[in-house]
Amino acid sequence: MKFFDIKEAIVFENDNYLLINKPPQIATLDERTPDAKGLSILRMVKKLYEDAQVAHRLDKETSGVLAIAKNPDAYRHLAIQFEKRQVEKLYHAVAVGIHDFQGVMVDLPITPIPTGGVKIDRTNGKDATTIFTTKEVFKQNTLVECMPLTGRMHQIRIHLSCLSAPIISDAQYGGKFLYLSEIKRDFRLKKDTDEQPLIQRVALHAYSLAFKDLDDTVILGTADYPKDMTALLKQLRNYK
């Protein structure tokens, strides 16, 4: 991806915490894969604050608000809130299909699988709960607000899949790429060109995060959509 200046991504900062709007395609922590290039949010933020620790994770493809503790006390304080499920998280996802979710709760346990990702496992899985609410309906897609009450890996993605509403471009959980030709009448592709999807990655964005500072004041961080998700929503609104 193009050069990313973490200072320009800050949406909130005080003596204890730094909240940034993480772009897609940058890992939260250092990756251990052979093709990893060493670019991670943790590595970048430690250049600013030596004691900084990432308080939670976002998938590499997921954009949005990410909390970073600037000192050990702040890290412990926020870690306890995550453990006690006192952190309020809101995500926005663009799902395949038209759906009317009005506070729909999915309470299905999740377990990791050896090939990566997760599956629903009612016997041995860890509890996972997400609440879904429709925000906007398009021609054949839906913008969904997702409130995870637990913090399991790929929780939102697999729970939406269980509602027959997989996220656009999320092939791992039944999603598919969306093309302009599917929603625009009289679409014509330029000669000798291949049509590209409207978004190349899982259409999931961490929109807001709220928790308490060490003095119990509430910290709320919100993150604007990145360019790719903004462009996707623009096209969906153009051709409702």
Q: Looking at the annotation, which residues are catalytic?
A: 59
Bin 38: left if φ > 0, else alpha if -120 < ψ < 50, else beta.
left
Distance separating alpha carbons of residues 23 and 41, to the nearest angstrom: 10
195 CB neighbour count, 10 Å cutoff: 13
Distance separating alpha carbons of residues 167 and 177, to the nearest angstrom: 9
Element (H, E) at 158: helix 155-162
Element (H, E) at 212: strand 204-212
Question: How many residues belong to the chain?
Answer: 240
C-beta separation of 94 from 235 below 8 A: no
